[in-house]
Amino acid sequence: MSSPVTPLSSRLLKGLALAAFLIVLPLSSAFAEKIANFPLLPAGTGSIRVFDRDGRFAGRILPTGRYWTPINQIPKFLQDALVAVEDSRFYEHNGIDFKGIARALVKDVAKGRMAEGGSTITQQLIKNKFLTGEKTLDRKVKEAQLAMDFEKKYSKAQILEMYFNEINFGNGAWGIAQAARLYFDKQPQELTDAECSLLAGIPKAPGRYNPLGDPQKVALRRSVVLKRMVDMKMISERERQNLMAHPATVIKPGKASYYLAHVKAKLIERFGAGVLEQGGLDVIAAMDLNLQKLAEDTLRDGVRKLSPKLQGALLCQDPATGDVLAAAGGVDFAASPYDRAFLAKRQPGSSVKPLIYAAALEKGFTAATLMNDTPVAYDRGNGQSWTPVNYERKGFGELPLREALAHSNNVIAVKLLDAIGVPYFSGFAGTLGLSLHPQNGLSLALGTDEVTLSQLVSAYSPLASGGLRSEPRTIIRIYDQRRRTWTEIPPAVTPVLAPATAYVTTQMLKDVLTYGTAKGLKKFSQERPAAGKTGTTDDYRDAWFVGYTPQLVTGVWVGQDKPKPGGRGFTGGAVAAPIWGRFMKGALAGKPAPDFAKPETVVTATIDPSTGKLATPECPHPREEFFLPGTEPTEYCPKHGSAPAPPAGQELAPEQELQTQEPATPPDAGAPQLR
C-alpha cells in the first residue's frame, strides 16, 4: 500500500521537479532595455541642510529624483558585503543556485511552508523589477527563467550594478544613491566600510534592518554581514573586530517635518524645483527648535485628548519681525503631511471680528460706543432676507463695543460692519494681509470667507506690534556651499495701523481672556498681559483661537479635514484656547511679562459704561477707557447726577477728568457666552 501524499511532501516533489526543469530550461527572448533606468548621479550634489535660528540642526531636505550609480562608483567593500550575506555563490552560478534551492527545500520541510531562501541576487533583481512577492511555484519558475536569461545577456558586474540601483533600502530609499544620501548624506563612492556593512544588511528586510530601525536588530544584522565576510575570507577577524568597535554614525530624521516641508516649498518658490536635486545649501530658518517641539507636542496631545478623528494646526510668530518661530501643520506628519498651518483654508468664524472693530475705531467709533443687539433683517435680493442672531439666539440689549467684542456678539458685529461699509473693511483687512471677498457682504462679520491660519496670525500681528505688519518669514539666510556666498532675507515690516488703534483694540481684546469667550485663560492673563479672540463656525465645524502678548502672536485651529459638525461645546473657547494657553505658558516660561506699550496719542478717560459719557461722582460703575485722539467723550453722564463743580475761580475741562476713579469691575462673569 502506497503512502499518502501530504501537502509538505507535495511541496518537496514540486521543488525537485522545479530543479529538474531548470536544468533543461530554454532561454527566453532577450531584453532590449538599457541597464541604467535613471539619470547618472551628478558629481558634487548634496542635501539641503536646515538649521534653526540658533544654529541647531533641524533636518535635511532630500532630492526626490532617483539616480543611477555605475558599479565603479560603488565601494568594493559594499559589493563584497552584499555578495557575502545575500548570495555567496554569486560569481559561480548561472543565475540559479541549486545548492541554495536544496537548502530552501530543507527549510520547507522544517517549517511546513514555502521558504524564501534560495534566491540569488539575480533572482531578487528579477523579482523586484518584473514580478511580485507572491510565494508560489509559478512565480518561482518565471523568476528562474528570467534570471538565467539575465545571466546570459549581462555580466556579473552589470547584474550587481542593476541590483544596487533597483533594490529597496528602506524608508522610501530606492537604490544605493538614495540610501547613501538618506542615511549618511554622502555619495556612494564616499561611503566608509562601516557604513557599507550597515547598507549590505538591509535588502533581506528593509523595514527591519534599515539603519533607522531598532538599534539592536540593526546591530545584529551588521554582525551577520561581517561574520559572513570573515567566513568567505573577504576580511580578517581583526578587521571585523575593528568595524564592530567603530560603528557608523547615521543621520537621524529631521525634528520639524511640517516646518521643513514649508521651507522646501519656499526654496522651490525662490530658486525653482531644480534646487532640490542640486542641493548644497545650508538654510538658517526662523524657527526656534524648542518652540517647534513644544508646538508639535502641545497640539498633538491637545487634539488627541479631544478625539482621534480631529486634526489641528498651531503657528507662532514674532510680531516684530514676522519670524515664524513654530509651525505645526497637523498632529502627525507621517500619517498626514498636509500642512494645515500654511495651506488649509477654513472659515475663521468670529476670530475675524477684531479686525472689524479696529477698522471701526479708525472710522470714529470707540470702545465705549453703545449699540443694540436687536436682530435686524437685511435684504439679500430676490425677495430673500437674512437676519443674523447671537449664539444661542439670546439678546442683551444695548452694549458698549468693548463688551460686545468680549462676548462675541454677532448682531452687533454685523451692524458695525454695515455702519463702516463692506468695501472699506475689505480694503482695511487687505492692508493687514487678509484678502477677503467683498461679494460675501455683511456675512464677512461672522467669518464666512476662508483664510489660512498663517494669514490670520499675520493679520493679528499689527495689533501686537503697535501697528506694524510683518510678512511671515520662515528663512533668514541661505548659504551656498559651492559659491561660498550668503543670501540674506531681511524682515519686511510695514506700518498699517495707527499705534493708537492697535493699542485700543488690544485693550478691548484683553477682556476676552478675563470675562469673555476665552475666560478659561483668565489665570494666564493675570500672570502676563495678553489679548486674543475665539472663533467658532456654523454647526461647530471649526474652532479657532488667535491670541498674543507683546512678544508672541499664536494661532490654533482644530477641526476635521472634511468639515463635520463637532457638536455643542466644540467652540474656540473650549477647544482651541486651552491648547493656546498650554503652548504660550511653555513658550514664555522664564521670560519677562511686559505690558503693551501705550502710545502717547492714546487718550484715557473715566466713563460710565452704561452711557459712554464721562463719569460723574454718582456713577455706580465708572471705568477707565481708552480712546483714539479726538474720539474721547466731552459730555458727562446724564443718568447719574451732574458734572462735578470746578474749583473756585477755575473752570474744569473734561480732559481733566482723567484717571480719577477706579476702573469698574468687568461685566458679570456669569453672562451668557456668545460665539
Residues forming the active site: 86, 350
Task: Report the run of H or E that residue 151 belongs to, with start and end.
Answer: helix 137-153
User: Cα(359)–Cα(424) distance, rounded to whole angstroms?
Assistant: 8
User: Cα(550)–Cα(318) distance, rounded to whole angstroms?
Assistant: 9
Contact yes or no for 667/403 (Cβ under 8 A):
yes
DSSP code per residue over 111-137 = HTS---TT--HHHHHHHHHH------H
Instruction: Please report where in the chains the cell 522610501 appears, as a residue.
Output: 172
Q: Which residues does 192 contact at the CB level (< 8 Å), separation at least 6?
A: 248
AA identity, residue 218:
V
User: Cα(630)–Cα(632) distance, rounded to whole angstroms?
Assistant: 6
Task: Report the run of H or E that residue 385 belongs to, with start and end.
Answer: strand 384-386
Q: Which residues does 310 contact at the CB level (< 8 Å), separation at least 6?
A: 303, 304, 331, 558, 559, 560, 566
Sign of CA dihedral 109, 115, 121, 122: positive
Q: How many CB atoms lie within 10 A of CB 535?
A: 30
Give the cell for residue 510. 484683553
Pairing of strands 613-614, 623-627: unpaired
Contact yes or no for 58/287 (Cβ under 8 A):
yes
Give the cell for residue 238. 581583526
The H-assigned helical ranges of 272-387 are 274-278, 289-306, 353-361
DSSP code per residue over 545-560 = EEEE-SS-EEEEEEE-
Give the cell for residue 634. 466731552
Contact yes or no for 352/496 (Cβ under 8 A):
no
User: Cα(365)–Cα(369) distance, rounded to whole angstroms?
Assistant: 6
DSSP code per residue over 422-442 = HHHHHHHHHHTT----GGGGG
User: Cα(180)–Cα(183) distance, rounded to whole angstroms?
Assistant: 6
Cα distances from 177 to residues 156, 180, 276, in angstroms, run 20, 5, 15
User: How many degrees, rounded to 5, is the angle at CA 147 between CA 146 and CA 153?
Assistant: 85
Tell which residue, 598, 625, 613, has the closest CA to residue 654. Answer: 613
Give the cell for residue 183. 542615511
Give the cell for residue 9. 511532501
Contact yes or no for 173/179 (Cβ under 8 A):
yes
Own/partner long-range contacts of 249-253 (Cβ < 8 Å, ≥24 apart): 250/183, 250/184, 250/198, 250/211, 250/212, 251/60, 251/182, 251/183, 251/184, 251/185, 252/212, 253/59, 253/212
Contact yes or no for 660/636 (Cβ under 8 A):
no
Instruction: Please report where in the chains the cell 514555502 appears, as a residue.
Output: 114
Sign of CA dihedral 179, 185, 189, 192: negative
Cα distances from 586 to residues 289, 295, 589, 592, in angstroms, run 13, 9, 5, 13
